[in-house]
Structure 1
Amino acid sequence: MPQPDPRIATRTHPAFLALGCVGFIASAPAAAQSNEAASADAPKTFKGVTVTGTAITDEGYKAERIESPKAVAPLLDTPRSIVVVDKQIIKDTGSATLVDALRTVPGITFGAAEGGNPIGDRPFIRGFDSQGSTYLDGVRDIGAQTREVFAVEQIQIVRGSDSTLGGRGSAGGSLNVISKLPERETFIAGSGSYGTADYKRLTGDVNYRLSDSIAFRVNGAWHDQDIAGRDAIFQKRWGIAPSVTIGMNSKTRLTLAYYHLHTNELPDSGIPYLYACSTTVCNAPNGYTLSQPALGKVTTASGTTGYVGRDTFYGLKDRDFRHSNTDQATMRIEHDFGTVKLRNTSRYSHTYQEYIFLLPDDSTGNVYGNPANLTGQPGGQVWRRANTRFGYTDSIINQTDLYGTFETGSIKHSFSVGGELSWEKSDRGAYVLATGSTISPRCSALAIARFYCTSLFTPNPNDAWQNYTNDTAAGTLTAITKGASPTHTINNANTKSVYAFDSITLTDKLILNLGARYDDFKSKVTLPFFLIDRPIVRRDDGIFNWQAGAVFKPTPNTSFYASYATAAIPPNSLIGEGQEQNSLGTLPTTTTAATYASAVAALQAAANDALKVEKTKSMEIGGKAELLDGALSINAAIFQTKSQNSRAIASDGTVQFIGAKRVRGIELGFNGNITDKWNVFGGYSYLDARITDGGFTALTVAANGAAAATTVAVPSVNTGRRFPQTAKHNFTIWTDYKVTSAFSIGGGAFYVSRVYGGYGDNRTATQTTAGVITVTPATKTIARSIPGYWRFDARAGYKINDHVDVSVNVQNLTNKTYFSQAYTSHYATLAASRSAFATVNFRY
């Protein structure tokens, strides 16, 4: 499909199409949502208040179970740590994206984009990257994307090793987004918001009951905002999600659904770290240094002092952009056989994104400067490195589930068995443009004149950047182009899976929970190459995972449990849609037509014999309780997760699977209603996350006389360090209190302790003319990190009548300057400053 020119700003869309269609068509990709809702005429009770019809109701924050055929027991009887973020929490917190909604859940942090990791949601659960473990209505949703919530019913977070439930990946847990689908009650609802930083948002939700058996629903959204406290950055998007269910009152039901989301934005990459440290340049002080983003008052190596404000943006309006499209079509067929149900779900998904994304680069020491070469590198400069990507991800998935209950004597079974067939493909390339990457020193006069580099203190996003044929002074102007087909990387994956779960009630006090899954995962990658046929590398993995748990219930409203679960991440599991630590490899850059055959053979042999499946094991004990007549749920868990077979450099300099990680932690949670006027949601997590074996690092040894250049392996600086992108302490609470029947106030407090991005040191290696190698120990070590923070939000709401209410949300109430994402190197992302918006909600 034709894609827009990246140099043309697409800031005028058919943006209101989503809302213009709201009165005509209906909701998001098919969900695992029950069609057994009460009829429109039946009264409903929320927190002790009985309402009827289409009145706006406060439904509370407590979920009884997760909506999935694989969920074979209520939350109280499930031996796992599970959190459900319901639509009421999403509404009250003023969340517009998945990231917004998940800030209320402790133990989840978010990683940033980089050259090897595309822009999109990148959640870390219990310290493990879960970008490839996100599901939509129980079906894998792998394409890199920024997810909206306008068509979301709830978000389910299952913590702990979780490949039994979802398949490959899920080392620390998984996310399952549940969509809004047709309901039996006819209604029309919507909201309109306006606020600071030119915040504008409209949503619509129309559900029409055509007959006793057919209902039609459509959700739509249009969103446009600048980012509070950040210069030049904007976000625009619109989406629509229609669906129809036929046979709502019958044993056989058919649901058809479609989802489309379009985004247009100027991406934000935040602030560069102050210090760089590697074998080639290390400008940090001696010893151990926390290298934080260069924010506030900064003095460079040459003694120049300046101020970097929170609004500082190093990007270029004339160059940087991001466009994306997500399209998903779903068909679900269900049939009831008494207490047993059969469900088949088929989905086609297409995600496309293209971007030129500024990465404020510090890799040559240009931010702080080089104390040993102040003339050439005085500091105070940021390289405007351009990370680029364009491409798509397609998937076709068919999933069949048979689930229900039966009894064998006095023993009760709640079971689910199923199978999955999937085909996935990704195709990605890069834009061809000059960025100053070949200029040395990096921020030379030419680089500054062409806006490849800019001032650390006074960057101008309106700089008249132009593209040249090359980085030399003789370069001529040329258009930005997309890389030719031979430069693309194409990944294909096919999966065949079978799985089974059973919750076995032995007595009223003792429940066993068992699960197993087998995946046959076949993957291949077509690599870039110009000189001869493009190389193809293949891999086939058979993966078995299982989980087992026991639940003891001393009373009907309390439970204690112990569980064990596994997860597996096969090579190429993300098919290029994330930071692939276990890819199938690439051809050496020195490959020629003459060495092509041997290089491809070696690559395939390594894929067959050297690559291994990364495995994790989780052990967990915990307790849950339903208090206040079931209105309030509390839970606690202690756990340990160990990972092995992570890809790392061995002592002989080769890639081996010796890496190991370990997380030990505590989680506390609460959600529900303390009184019929007071809702709460939140919790606390403590994560002791360590890299127990980071393998080795290869140091380059320069040639010396007759001794040729070589490399030597030294223990990795990561060994013994904390996991990147993982907070040790994380506390969240959101609460809402009804002062009167019409007026309510609420707010949230969120604490995240220090998060590390990555580590570096200045070890070097030299050799004599006889080839005797000497490793010089590190005198400087840096830990790139962002400081911990408290953030506070506030909300006030007023119910005008049964059909209209208004609310005001203030986010980051104290205007705290903090960072929301820390990447491994180069930069960290700044969060928005204080913002406020008012919302009008209606429902008829």
Structure 2
Amino acid sequence: MSRVTTARTSASYLALACVGFIATAPAHAADNNTPVPADADKDAQDRSAQDKDQILVTGTRAPELQGPKATATAENTPRSVVILPKDVIEQTGSTTLAEALRTVPGITFGAAEGGNPIGDRPFIRGFDSQGSTFVDGVRDSAAQTRDVFAVEQVQVVRGSDSTLGGRGSAGGSINIITKVPQQRNFITASASAGTADYKHATIDVNQYLGGGIGVRVAAMWHDQDFAERDAIWARRWGVAPSITIGLGSDTRLTASYYYLESHELPDSGMPFLYTIGNAPGTGEIWTTPAIGRITTAGGVSGTVERDTFYGLKDRDFRDAYTHQASLRVEHDFGDLTLRNSSRYSYNEQNYIFLLPDDSQGNVYGTAATNPTTGAAGTRGDVLTGGYVWRRGNTRYGYTETLGNQTDLFGSFDTGSVKHSIAIGAEVSWEKARRGAYVSASGSTVSPRCNTATIARYYCTSLFNPNPSDPWVNYTSDTSTVQTPIVKGDHSAETQNEANTVSAYAFDSITLIPSLILNLGVRYDHFTSKVTPGLAAGATQTVTLERTDDLFNWQAGLVFKPTQNTSIYASYATAATPPNSLLGEGQEPNALPTTNTTANLALLDSLKVEKTKSYEVGAKASIFDGQLALSAAAFQTDTDNARTTGPDNTVQFIGKRRIRGVEFNFNGNVTKWFTVFGGYTHLDPKIVDGGYTALTAAAVGAQAAKVVLVPSVTTGRQATQTAKDSFTFWGDLKPAGGLSIGGGAFYTGRQFGGYADNRSATQTAAGVVTINPATKVLSRTIPGYWRFDARIAYKINEHFDVSVNVNNITNETYFTQVYSSHYASIAPGRSAFGTLGIKF
């Protein structure tokens, strides 16, 4: 259902918006030396009495799924689940969510050019999961880069997941569990310093005041440059206080706040070498980022070093701010708990992000010589290559969310059948508003690079750019009047809003001790609307609105041959409605932004993208329950993906299929050797990419004609996804307080996008001929291995020291690939030492 409304520009905008999902109950286990009070289990989510003997890691039970919807332990959950504990996060020296998730196989990160170009954009099993990231169960889809200073663990649920989390979640979801008060006193702190001017400090203070009142404050300060990346830097700080009243009692109230502020010179990486227009050769051609020894079309040779940076210190920046305030109240009624959770969040992001652009062939070049006559000669057009256009992508804006949900969860018996249930309802509001900075960067000049644009530093040398070039802003690309960069007019901003009303229910049914049936259903009523910026000279804007009703379900059967092993099969669905990300990321199914007749018809014809997953697997805990192993085989199918149809209209005929197998391990091989990691193999295929329009130029009396051909993407590997990935982190304690750790991480080749040079021509009689492609271009980044190491020593119960070395072999590799233009490059070898304090 959709509708269109109009509103005057002077109308005020609601400051409400929000998110939906469940606020989990972050209850955390004690450390090895401090016992947890007997009644502390009231905050834990292990509600399966038969599974109390769980995996032990370094002397304590391994982290388990937390939150009301965790109706079973990880071992008895019929789907692939990875729980990344804080110990692994700390040992690997991870300070951001992206760094922490590199230890989880099967997760890659995508790049973009707008919305969320350099923030967290994880792909799980080949699907963009930016909008399926949650903090304590609450959706946190705003464009941002997350720190882990207040993180207790990260839960990754793989496979179609809309039943659990609502809209989206085609490939899975990520739930970040934060730190909250505990019934004990402790202080932990760390201070790190290292190469590339690396500095990092954290503190985590918990005080149990008695009478069921606990207070906790976590804080962080971070400042660094990046190894072998010229000019790049990042600074941030954050604080996360929380208080719980009623710890250990039947009624508990927890209030928490989280603030993160970051400032950086963003790193966009390297441009690709070729476009489809200038790629030499025929057939299948792979273009990779322009690095190493390169010879341009004009015959100039040079070396692009890994520290090359094409941005501008005087122009580029990224500032971000996050506020989150949460309130949760819960009461135990015997084996059932009633919880009400509320969350308000505000995320602001402002940036001018350099995109090293190759779109007009300026990197490799389009000619052997430059023109010397005519207008091109007068302008001094550079066609021989060796230049990068410093395209400046800009955005400022914020996302506000407000949500409330109520959950009833717990366990009961019906005769000999045991039930672990969760039922709940959610109401949420969301608003995202964004605009652009007024900045000239040569976007109106074609070709991009000539004498004037080089003089203004719009274009820079491929081989020897200078980030300190004295760049200034002008009122236009051709004006000589200087002007400061300012935000665009308020009336030109685009606003997206959404509200969600949801209801859900889950039941883990123990039919007999060796057979568990897991069921879940969810209904979402999702309404989204977009109000585009005011057109020039207009006095009214238009609001386009659409409502979708989403129903998702999951079912799984678990067979337990023994108490510590399980075999399972499951089926789950996901639904991604139009405008699911509210413009905060890549939105392939966005609402239209004008009220033309065609767009109004499109608004009514939009469809929900449907995904379904099939999975079989096995799980076991061995070595007296100390090592958890799991394996799974799966297939995920997507239908209704938005593409161009054979009649050159938007149609919902796109299909993707992801098949794969995975293996994971977590725990103690012995009491002195702990491991974490796994292997994932994917066959990510675009089954149907729709059609591509070709235009046959006019001939004589024959007007130009448009013909449709199957998309070049059909049958190819899904983008921004690796076929193979392997991760391993191990920590060895040979003697005394000595600890030796290390990691090996492999990610296979990824593709960003595809293009070919098919064309259409027509005769004077109007007969159209489609000329087959002589070359197909794939933008790709190669696979890589990365190795890390750590050595630590526990001086006494209060002090420890450690040294981490990342990327030991100084491997040059790329971590993210965009569909065109560029790929993000990783830093070189770095090292840092850390002093840890515990009281």
Normalised by the length of structure 1, the TM-score is 0.91
Equivalent of residue 42 in structure 1, options 35, 41, 65: 35
Give the letter for the 2:442 counterpart: G
Is 1:549 the counterpart of 2:556? The answer is yes
Equivalent of residue 365 in structure 1, options 354, 361, 366: 361
Give the letter for the 2:315 counterpart: R
Give the letter for the 2:268 counterpart: S
What is the CA deviation profile of residues 582-632 of structure 1, one whole-angstrom value per residue up to 9, with x for unaligned ones?
Answer: 001233xxxxxxxxxxx4454233212x11000100000000001011100
**CA 1:441–1:185 in 2, change beyond 3 Å: closer, same or farther?**
same
Alignment-derived partner of residue 832 in structure 1: 827
Equivalent pair of 2:278/2:365 in contact (CA under 8 Å): no
What is the CA deviation profile of residues 47-97 of structure 1, one whole-angstrom value per residue up to 9, with x for unaligned ones?
Answer: xxxxxxxxxx98479735211110100111110100010010011100000
Is 1:575 the counterpart of 2:568? The answer is no
Alignment-derived partner of residue 110 in structure 2: 111
5+ residue gaps, structure 2: 1-21, 39-55, 372-381
Equivalent of residue 438 in structure 1, options 441, 444, 450: 444
Separation in 1 of the partners of 2:773 and 2:453?
Answer: 32
Counterpart of 1:204 in 2: which secondary structure?
Answer: strand
Alignment-derived partner of residue 377 in structure 2: none
Among all aligned residue pairs of Structure 1 and Structure 2, give the percentage whose two residues are the same amino acid.
Answer: 61
Farther-moved stretch of structure 1 (435-444 vs 759-768): 759-768
Equivalent of residue 777 in structure 1, options 772, 778, 781: 772
Give the letter for the 1:462 counterpart: S
Is 1:408 the counterpart of 2:434? The answer is no
The Cα of 1:283 is off from its aligned counterpart by: 3.0
Give the letter for the 1:483 counterpart: G
Equivalent pair of 2:278/2:364 in contact (CA under 8 Å): no
Alignment-derived partner of residue 143 in structure 2: 144
Separation in 2 of the partners of 1:438 and 1:36?
Answer: 59
The Cα of 1:117 is off from its aligned counterpart by: 4.0
Alignment-derived partner of residue 623 in structure 1: 618
**CA 1:567–1:656 in 2, change beyond 3 Å: closer, same or farther?**
same
Alignment-derived partner of residue 385 in structure 2: 379
Equivalent pair of 1:164/1:547 in contact (CA under 8 Å): yes
Equivalent of residue 803 in structure 2, options 799, 808, 819: 808
Is 1:348 the counterpart of 2:332? The answer is no
What is the CA deviation profile of residues 357-395 of structure 1, one whole-angstrom value per residue up to 9, with x for unaligned ones?
Answer: 000000001101114765441011100001110000000
Alignment-derived partner of residue 264 in structure 1: 263
**CA 1:62–1:766 in 2, change beyond 3 Å: closer, same or farther?**
farther
Equivalent pair of 1:538/1:604 in contact (CA under 8 Å): no
Alignment-derived partner of residue 464 in structure 1: 470
Separation in 2 of the partners of 1:651 and 1:815?
Answer: 48
Separation in 2 of the partners of 1:213 and 1:710?
Answer: 76
What is the CA deviation profile of residues 567-595 of structure 1, one whole-angstrom value per residue up to 9, with x for unaligned ones?
Answer: 000000000111000001233xxxxxxxx
Alignment-derived partner of residue 539 in structure 1: 546
Counterpart of 2:279 in 1: which secondary structure?
Answer: coil
What is the CA deviation profile of residues 701-721 of structure 1, one whole-angstrom value per residue up to 9, with x for unaligned ones?
Answer: 333333334432211110011
Separation in 1 of the partners of 2:589 and 2:794?
Answer: 53
Counterpart of 2:600 in 1: which secondary structure?
Answer: helix
Separation in 1 of the partners of 2:368 and 2:547?
Answer: 51
Is 1:511 the counterpart of 2:510? The answer is no
Equivalent pair of 2:189/2:202 in contact (CA under 8 Å): yes
Equivalent of residue 654 in structure 2, options 646, 656, 659: 659
What is the CA deviation profile of residues 765-796 of structure 1, one whole-angstrom value per residue up to 9, with x for unaligned ones?
Answer: 23334443322211111110011111000000
The Cα of 1:34 is off from its aligned counterpart by: 2.6
What is the CA deviation profile of residues 405-458 of structure 1, one whole-angstrom value per residue up to 9, with x for unaligned ones?
Answer: 000000000000001100000001111111111112211111101100001000
**CA 1:626–1:354 in 2, change beyond 3 Å: closer, same or farther?**
same
Counterpart of 1:606 in 2: which secondary structure?
Answer: helix
Is 1:339 the counterpart of 2:352? The answer is no
Give the letter for the 1:438 counterpart: T
Alignment-derived partner of residue 606 in structure 2: 611
**CA 1:835–1:569 in 2, change beyond 3 Å: closer, same or farther?**
same
Give the letter for the 1:387 counterpart: N
Separation in 1 of the partners of 2:60 and 2:722?
Answer: 25
Aligned residues: 789
The Cα of 1:37 is off from its aligned counterpart by: 6.3
Equivalent of residue 484 in structure 2, options 473, 479, 483: 479
Equivalent of residue 713 in structure 1, options 708, 714, 718: 708
Is 1:254 the counterpart of 2:257? The answer is no
Alignment-derived partner of residue 498 in structure 1: 503
Give the letter for the 2:416 counterpart: S
Equivalent pair of 1:40/1:184 in contact (CA under 8 Å): no
Equivalent pair of 1:62/1:673 in contact (CA under 8 Å): no
Equivalent pair of 1:275/1:362 in contact (CA under 8 Å): yes
Separation in 2 of the partners of 1:702 and 1:196?
Answer: 58
Counterpart of 2:67 in 1: which secondary structure?
Answer: coil
Give the letter for the 2:468 counterpart: N
Is 1:32 the counterpart of 2:28? The answer is no
Counterpart of 2:541 in 1: which secondary structure?
Answer: coil
How do residues 82-481 of structure 1 correspond to structure 2 at under 5 angstroms? 82-277=81-276, 281-371=277-367, 374-375=370-371, 376-472=382-478, 474-481=479-486
The Cα of 1:186 is off from its aligned counterpart by: 0.8
5+ residue gaps, structure 1: 1-28, 46-56, 588-598
Counterpart of 2:773 in 1: which secondary structure?
Answer: coil
Is 1:754 the counterpart of 2:749? The answer is yes
Is 1:677 the counterpart of 2:704? The answer is no
Separation in 2 of the partners of 1:482 and 1:709?
Answer: 40
Normalised by the length of structure 2, the TM-score is 0.92
**CA 1:125–1:39 in 2, change beyond 3 Å: closer, same or farther?**
closer
Separation in 2 of the partners of 1:409 and 1:374?
Answer: 86
Separation in 2 of the partners of 1:515 and 1:171?
Answer: 16
Counterpart of 1:506 in 2: which secondary structure?
Answer: strand
Aligned-pair RMSD on alpha carbons?
1.8
Alignment-derived partner of residue 520 in structure 1: 525
**CA 1:798–1:420 in 2, change beyond 3 Å: closer, same or farther?**
same
Give the letter for the 1:427 counterpart: R
Equivalent pair of 1:254/1:334 in contact (CA under 8 Å): yes
What is the CA deviation profile of residues 139-170 of structure 1, one whole-angstrom value per residue up to 9, with x for unaligned ones?
Answer: 10111110000000000000000000000000
The Cα of 1:486 is off from its aligned counterpart by: 2.5
Give the letter for the 2:27 counterpart: S
**CA 1:142–1:153 in 2, change beyond 3 Å: closer, same or farther?**
same
The Cα of 1:399 is off from its aligned counterpart by: 1.4
Separation in 2 of the partners of 1:271 and 1:566?
Answer: 38
Give the letter for the 2:832 counterpart: F
Counterpart of 2:75 in 1: which secondary structure?
Answer: helix
